[in-house]
Structure 1
Amino acid sequence: MQGVNHKILKVDLTNKEFTVDEHDDNFYRKYIGGRGFALYYMHKEMDPKVDPFSPENMLVFAASIIVGAQGPAIPRLTVCSKSPLTNGFGESEAGGYWAPELKKAGFDAIVITGKAEKPTYLYIEDGQVEFKDASDLWGKETGAVQSEIRKEHEDERVQVAQIGPGGENLVRYACITNNLGHFNGRNGHGAVMGSKNLKAIAVRGRENLELANKDKVLEINRWTAKEGMKNPLGSSLHDVGTWGTVESNQEAGALPTRNWNLGQFDQVEEISAKAWKESISKEGRGCFACPIRCKRVVEITEGKYQVDPKYGGPEYETVGSFGSTLEIADKEVIAKANELCNKYTLDTISTGMTIAFAMEAFENGILTEEDTGGVKLEFGNGDGTLKMIEMIAKREGLGDLLAEGSLKAAQEIGNGAIKYTHQVKGQEVPMHDPRVKTGVGIQYATAGYGADHMKAPHDSFYATIDSYGTKSTKSLGIYDPVDPLSLGEDKVRLYVNLDLYWTLIDILGACQFGYAPRGPVSIKMMLELIHAVTGEDISLKELMEAAERSIDMARVFNNKAGLKPEDDFLPEKFYEDFIDGPLKGKNGIDRDDFAKALKLRYQMMGWDPETLEPARSKLVRMGIEWIE
């Protein structure tokens, strides 16, 4: 197989030792990359019951069989560990340049165990590995750390994946950043890095990957850059990134506002895509070899809040979590909140949602100014929000409690505070309301790593016979549209197929913005790209089975870790009707219908609906009976 190194680096931080595992082509065809690689090692060499902050927890950085080739939208890095936020299998993807650089440096993945005696960073260059003292970097923000590591190695092309003070201080939703603007955001992997005294992993590679048909790879990239941008979804991402989602959700009456108590924000014009583009937005950026360039960048050079463009800019999720959810209409506050989270490596969704929980608790007298250290934690308080981000990252005052996440904080506070949380498995929900697209609700409930909006394509892509999703994924056996509000058998069948497919996109290290049904590259062209990179005739059936295998492996891991069927739930808010906007008095999800949908999903996956244990016959079919 071309396009891979056939080498996975294993690092023992405790003993400052490393080894290299070499795998044959069959391993790569069976597990593909990302979570596939990670779960293989997590089942082979780790007890799922370990404490997430123990040295025994495994931290895996993984690319895939096609990452590193100069094809469109295939730059992504997967990081996995046992999550300190959900206490189960954790997974997060990031774009950028780090994963392709790792492949060029000679490795397809890194498996890390142990805990360094003192702050350490790993330096990997052209197959060589060094353990470097990071004592002088500990406590510093991400921009300074990247600059100092590159200066030490006299090379601006060194790619740095790192944590800031949030990860060092074990904030349970701390993230990992590479190149300052790309994030493995969810599940708290940054805190796992901090628990291991691992400040950063810097990689530099000079060996280009050997591809089976480089010309074909470049041809597909050129097509995407030219013809693919005619796709309305691709052109919109290139123009305004994900900011356009603000207006579409507002129009639908489903923009999360005031900690999900409202579905419309009165000052939405102030945080619309047009408002961002016409004020502090700069030219967009992209990821390795990708022509879509959807990343937004903002800059503020004067005034109360100055924002450095090297930290990128807020995506829709951040605009929602620090904007409408907190009832903040000041773009400069939102931009500053995003910059602070990027400096400290805090997941913006969980940070914003945890602050929203605290604001509602404050509004209802459960938290007081004595608890907040004098901060009037009221909706719309921009300065108070920025202060609380600092307190969370440094675990100061109330920030120490909020650093545990909204669920643990609510359990500690008591007095009914739990009703102001909106989370699944301890992970705060993203900025998409399942009352207008029920498949998103199934995603929130059943994702093994907590509430997530990128587990499968959203319902709106399959609303009509002419929808791009309906037309672009017929090879998955999807022929007919499905009502976004349906919770019947048609929706479950659609969700299961799409769950497998987008899991495939993840383990390939691809970006959903590049591939059907969200992006311009068709499934047929994706298969051509895989063949051009690897030289292997890997079928769609084989790829979909690899995705399904990884879902089964994650489920078994979570079962062993102690997660229960009741951990697959939907927050109470979504069973309630909207109280404002065009959907006032409507759209609360029916509990019985939702329970039936989950049961059918488990049955379709070959899992016992009462225990969520996959049948042995299912594990045998997937070739993973050894994980029982």
Structure 2
Amino acid sequence: MTQQETKNNRDNRELRVIRVLEIDLTNSRLEIHERTDLAHYLGGTGLAAKLFSEFLKKDLDPLAEEQPIIFANGPLATIFPVATKVISVFRSPLTGEYGESHAGMRLGLAMRGARYDAIVIHGKAKRPTYLTVNAEAVNFKDASAIWGMGVGEVGTILRKLVPGTGHRSSLRIGQAGERKVAFANVNVDTYRHFGRLGLGAVFGAKNLKAMVVVGNTNEPLTNAKEYKQAYEDIYNQTVKTDIMDKYHGLGTAINVIPLNELNALPTKNMQESNFEHAEAISGEAFAEQTLLRQIACSGCPIGCIHIGLHRQMFGELYEYESKSISYDHELIFALGSYLGMSSQDKVYKLIDKVEDLGLDAITAGVALGWVIEAFEKGIIDETLLGTEVAFDEVEGCLHVLENIVKQPNEFYRLLAKGTDAVAEVYGGLDFAMTMGKTEMAGYHTGHAHVIGQSIGARHSHLDNAGYSVDQKHRKDQGKPETHKKMIRELIDEECWRNVLTSVGVCLFARNIYTPERVIKALAATGCKVNEQQLNELGKDIYKLKHRLRTDLGFNIDELRFPKRFFETKSLIGQLSEETIQSMLDEYKQQLSNLLSNVQ
């Protein structure tokens, strides 16, 4: 398609008015912008990236008060099944690069009810602050009384301070965000998060403890017949086929045993890829022994969020406390197998701690894995840590997590910046398991996962599903012609996922939301697009993200791959550094073609 044809398609598209709420924390001011020039990006990922490009101060530190936080909703969010995600974009304090994170629960519904497609926050409040946002107003509230509190306690208080119905969503940080830990997260409605890359630290740097969004208006339905048809088609695919069965049944924790059997479950800081206690912390074991209930994000009929009941004694004479704690594969990997934790009780204790402190669980777990191995090798000692640590020993890990937040010495101040930062100074880079300065996800499947997380726009396994590409090409990864095909699939998948997350779709439903269904669903909202336009949008967003991350320092030639990846057996056997380099070279060529519009 020529540039003129692309332009004509955009000109012919029925434009939406994009409502952007801009909040200036420094001056306690707000502006509402109604823009049609942003309609091309639809919403979600594309809209957030575009707004980020406008507000970003690329020469300033990620935690500078001038840096923006962007939240963007998708046009399908919460009005179609499994369209549940709000996208946040910010400059990551963990990597220094483009940061993007997704969260569900009630935020999409609340933003829709408040009539905002996007919220932009910049500046720094003069004192600890929380925001209440609805369609009529933004209130700047003193948060001094809740500053220093954990995530759970703050949530309880906010529910009392800002009463509302299910159309209310609560975002808050813990002490990790206040202390600007580079992998602090933002909790959303207790059981979901803007997890990776440190959005919580950006909140803390702005003196922003929390934000409550209340959706207090209704949205009229203008194309009732088209909407009903599109909705029922997607709903039937969601609940009357087996596509989503695993997410409701055992959830993503169903992956633990299969990955373990395939030598693809990272264990003991990736020294192993098979865990002897995998069955004890499997999705099946959690479901049979401690599963309490399943809940769903607003607008989703699946119920993929699995809540377990954790009982622990806190005093003599049978003084027990019971907590409802969410678990999934990534948490079981990062705070379970990766640390050699052999029981659900130990995993729950670690999840509970990272949740209340407001830390990203994956990053925290992988950082702990490095700490334990560095301790075993004598790189760090008990004097530095203030405790002994070992695989399958939970108390030392709890101590380290608390001190990542307290930062009592230089070691912990470095550890609070992430695994790469501390290993650069103390050593152990060969077993500091990061890709693009971001701690690895819970798969050791092959070359495509290593490459995919490294080149993905937000260094996430969710960018392009490299683990899936590995499984597809399991038997022929050594062939040069396969490398080209795998890179093509990684790029194509990331482009299409940009489309899905721009309209608000949860990636669990990626096999349901085909181009045809996305087009029909958008048409029911009054947005007329065709498949060619969607594909071009995915590429446009890919290019925009690449430009942003390059401007912020990303360099393909500076990617580091820890030797541990090549030492530990994976799903496909031993990985090859030569294959990684070959695939990187192929990626650079295909990226150049994409940026030059060469087909």
Once the two structures are superposed, the pairs formed by residues 159-198 of structure 1 within 5 Å of their partners are 159-198=169-208
The answer on whether the counterparts of 1:105 and 1:125 sit within 8 Å (CA) in structure 2 is yes
**2:494 aligned residue:** 499
Matched, 1:36 2:53: no
**Residue number among 517, 521, 524 corresponding to 1:529 in the alignment:** 521
Residues 372 and 276 of structure 1, relative CA distance in 2, 3 Å threshold: same
| Cα shift at 1:544 | 2.2
Q: Which residue is 2:431 aligned to?
A: 420
Amino acid at match of 2:585: K
* 1:249 corresponds to: 259
List alignment gaps of at least 5 residues for structure 1.
Answer: 465-480, 609-613, 622-628
Aligned 1:343-358 pairs, distance under 5 A:
343-358=356-371
Asked if residue 588 in structure 1 is aligned to residue 574 in structure 2, the reply is yes
Query: Aligned to 1:325, which of 333, 338, 343?
Result: 338
Task: Tell me if the contact between 2:18 and 2:35 (Cα under 8 Å) persists in the aligned partners.
Answer: yes
What does residue range 80-159 of structure 1 map to in structure 2 within 5 Å?
80-157=89-166, 158-159=168-169
The answer to whether the Cα contact below 8 Å between 1:244 and 1:272 also exists between their aligned partners in 2 is yes
User: Contact between 1:256 and 1:432, CA under 8 Å: does it hold in 2?
Assistant: yes
What percentage of residue pairs aligned between the two structures are identical? 25
Equivalent in 605, 608, 611 of residue 591 of structure 2: 605
107-116 or 37-46, larger mean C-alpha shift: 37-46
* Local SS of the residue matching 1:243: helix
Tell me which moved more, 333-342 or 272-281.
Answer: 333-342
Match of 1:390 in 2: 402
**Relative to 1, partners in 2 of residues 1:459 and 1:144: Cα closer, same or farther, differing over 3 Å?**
closer
Deviation at 1:462, TM superposition (A): 8.8
Distance in 2 between residues matched to 1:260 and 1:463, nearest whole Å: 19
Structure 1 residue 341 corresponds to structure 2 residue 354: yes
The alignment covers a number of residue pairs equal to 577
* Structure 1 residues 600 and 211: CA distance shift in structure 2, 3 A: farther
Closer/same/farther in 2, CA of residues 2 and 493 from structure 1, 3 Å limit: closer
1:524 Cα deviation after fit: 2.2
Instruction: Give the equivalent residue in structure 2 for 1:308.
Output: 323
Match of 1:546 among 516, 537, 540: 537
Residue 471 of structure 1 corresponds to none
The match for 2:10 is none
The residue that corresponds to 2:377 in the other structure is: 364
Closer/same/farther in 2, CA of residues 463 and 135 from structure 1, 3 Å limit? closer
- State the Cα distance separating 1:427 from its structure 2 match: 1.1
For the pair 1:71 / 2:54, whether they are aligned, the reply is no
- Hey, what does 1:611 align to over in structure 2? none
Q: Tell me which moved more, 87-96 or 390-399.
A: 390-399
| Counterpart Cα distance in 1 of 2:102 and 2:585 | 28
1:432 match: 443
Amino acid at match of 1:491: M
Q: How far apart, in 2, do the equivalents of 1:338 and 1:296 lie?
A: 13
2 CA distance for matches of 1:429 and 1:245? 16
- Root mean square deviation of aligned Cα: 2.5
Deviations 1:432-453 (A, max 9, x none): 1142xx3222211201323x11
Give the deviation of 1:606 after TM superposition. Answer: 3.0
Q: Distance in 2 between matches of 1:299 and 1:3?
A: 48
Q: 1:2 to 1:490 in 2, by over 3 A?
A: closer
Cα pair 2:66 2:123 within 8 Å, conserved? yes
Letter in 2 for 1:348: A
Secondary structure at 1:11 match in 2: strand
1:485 corresponds to which residue?
477
Which of 30, 42, 45 is equivalent to 1:18? Answer: 30
Checking the alignment, whether the CA contact within 8 Å between 2:271 and 2:568 is kept in structure 1 is: no
1:456 aligned residue: 464
Counterpart CA distance in 2 for 1:276 and 1:3 is 48
SS at match of 1:192: helix
| 1:52–1:587 CA distance, 2 compared to 1 (3 A) | same
Conserved in 2, the CA contact under 8 Å of 1:424 and 1:568?
yes
SS of equivalent residue, structure 1 residue 147: helix
The Cα of 1:163 is off from its aligned counterpart by 0.9
Q: Is residue 439–residue 484 contact of structure 1 (8 Å, CA) maintained in 2?
A: no
> Residues 460-493 of structure 1, C-alpha deviation per residue, up to 9 Å, x if partnerless?
47967xxxxxxxxxxxxxxxx8857364222122
Range with bigger deviation, 319-328 or 391-400: 391-400
Taking a change above 3 Å as real, the CA distance of residues 539 and 83 of structure 1, as seen in their structure-2 partners, is same
In structure 1, give the amino acid aligned to 2:527. Answer: E
Moved more, 140-149 or 256-265: 140-149
1:2–1:218 Cα change, 3 Å? farther
Shift of 1:507: 2.0
Aligned partners of 1:308, 1:565: CA distance in 2, in Å? 44
Q: Give the Cα separation in 1 of the matches to 2:476 and 2:291.
A: 33
CA distance in structure 1 between the partners assigned to 2:207 and 2:157 by the alignment: 18
Q: Do the aligned partners of residues 552 and 241 (structure 1) sit closer, same or farther apart at CA in structure 2, a change above 3 Å counting?
A: same
